[in-house]
Structure 1
């Protein structure tokens, strides 16, 4: 298939942003899985401070906001995502305690030990799972929680095509036991982990893209880079259909160990 050896970050950033901005989710997941992860987190109240890092347009953030009473800050690198995030918060009547800001996950605008919960669905790979766990830890209060989804191998061995795809795209992908061990080594008590079911990829991510791809291609008619981006996303969906037994997204939830 054409462009099968390219990676998502090889494409034009502005086109990627525009492509994903019209989607409710920018990665695999679902409201049910967001709430399942939330069920493992204790001691949140009206005074709690929560950060959703790499929040995108806030699909999962708004689900969180409907089920917790604290204040949530969504952070994303792309201003277009944040603009839609804040519009969504206003539309849902949540803007009094839910706010999106533009910024980098490599330089978070929080004070040390300010946060009760750090959330990140489908985004920590941008900084790297290990680095994110280590660097973000200082922003959590003692006993605070972190909940992230991360691409993970579901088997010890896998076909060469999908192995190469992920080694090129995200070499830090690893098995679930190794990811849990990394969380523990980074200074957290591993609380829970679970694999996102197939519908998080299909019903909530790839299928909604079909309609948006038609809209996107009409908007950028004749734009070769836009066509290549759509081709890449279609190829990624085909790979998942072929090799979903070997990899997936996994929710990892950890609790910060008290500072010694």
Structure 2
């Protein structure tokens, strides 16, 4: 089966979405009362920069990292080996809407930049069963930071992810889904540019020749360029918010 171009476009990059090791560490530092050897599930891990960072900051944890794209998992395995944490990370090729794990298997669920694939509300509901009592779900989700976004930003997100909501609206959804909202914080601008957009810009330049004559690939490149341009002009109006949630008893 031919690899979808969207995966090819992101292969080999440090991250497949906004984020940073600093934000990962900040989120993990908020977690309290974890067991000495917590079981962590990283859902939609991509190349796994955050997976390796969690393994670094929590030497006792054991992490299961899932993604549907095997090359991402292979990249993660290589990065984990280089960081000396490979023995505590298990990779599993699996879809986030059909995770093959028993109920109450994990103390922490981690999902940086991935829940939008199935939807914020849907992911919260589907994944809750995997958490042990008092377990944490740590994720990032796109959110509006202003009441009245510009027409350009609104049009882009209507095409990209029309389910985008304000931070307050997402907090309410999380509470209704059976979680306590422990903390939230916005990702800084550097989390979009340093390890995501800047490497992506270089990648797009190299991919244009390969995409020539492939309408789907050309459209994906054009949309990615539009995304970067909109964020450059209107990034203060929206962003990713880190949500640290805890399963209610």
Which residue number corresponds to residue 109 of structure 2?
118
For residues 195 and 13 of structure 1, do their structure 2 counterparts lie closer, same or farther at Cα, with a shift above 3 Å needed? farther
Provide TM-score, normalisation by structure 2. Answer: 0.93
> 1:238 Cα shift?
0.4
**1:26 and 2:16 correspond:** yes
How far apart are residue 224 of structure 1 and its match? 3.5
Give the alignment partner of residue 157 of structure 2, picking from 166, 169, 177. 166
Deviation at 1:45, TM superposition (A): 4.3
1:100 pairs with 78, 81, 91, which one? 91
Moved more, 23-32 or 169-178: 169-178
**What is the DSSP-based 3-state SS (H/G/I as helix, E as strand, rest coil) of the residue aligned with 2:86?**
coil
Kindly indicate whether residue 189 of structure 2 is the aligned counterpart of residue 198 of structure 1.
yes
CA distance in 1, matches of 2:241, 2:3: 26
Q: Deviations over 1:44-67 (max 9, x none)?
A: 344211001010010111111101
TM-score after normalising by structure 1 = 0.89
The aligned length equals 246
1:85–1:170: structure 2 CA closer, same or farther, 3 Å change rule?
same
Does residue 234 (structure 1) correspond to residue 225 (structure 2)? The answer is yes
Report the counterpart of residue 53 of structure 1 in structure 2. Answer: 43
Gap change, CA 1:206 and 1:124, over 3 Å in 2: same
On the 8 A contact 2:156/2:227 being kept in 1, the answer is no
Contact 1:188 1:255 in 2 (8 A): yes
Whether the aligned pair in 2 keeps the contact of 1:22 and 1:212 (CA below 8 Å) is: no
**Residues 151-190 of structure 1: matches in 2 within 5 Å?**
151-190=142-181
1:140: which partner in 2? 131
Structure 2: distance between partners of 1:117 and 1:181 = 21
Q: Displacement, 1:243?
A: 1.1
Q: Decide whether the 8 Å contact of 2:9 with 2:207 is kept in 1.
A: yes
Q: Name the CA distance, whole Å, in 2 between partners of 1:212 and 1:147.
A: 29
- Return the alpha-carbon distance in structure 1 between the equivalents of residues 3 and 177 of structure 2: 31
Matches within 5 A, 1:82-101: 82-101=73-92
RMSD of aligned residue pairs (Cα, Å): 1.6
By how many angstroms is 1:222 displaced? 3.4
> CA offsets, 1:129-166, max 9 Å, x none?
01111111111011000011000000111122221221
Query: Aligned equivalents of 1:221 and 1:183: distance in 2?
Result: 40
Gaps in structure 2 of 5+ consecutive residues? none
* Structure 2 counterparts to residues 235-250 of structure 1, below 5 A: 235-250=226-241
CA distance in 1, matches of 2:144, 2:18: 15
Give, in angstroms, the shift of residue 223 of structure 1: 4.4
Question: In the alignment, which residue of structure 2 is the partner of 1:14?
Answer: 4
Q: What is the CA–CA distance in structure 2 between the aligned matches of 1:209 and 1:61, rounded to whole Å?
A: 20
Q: Work out whether residues 17 and 80 of structure 1, in 8 Å CA contact, stay in contact via their aligned partners in 2.
A: no
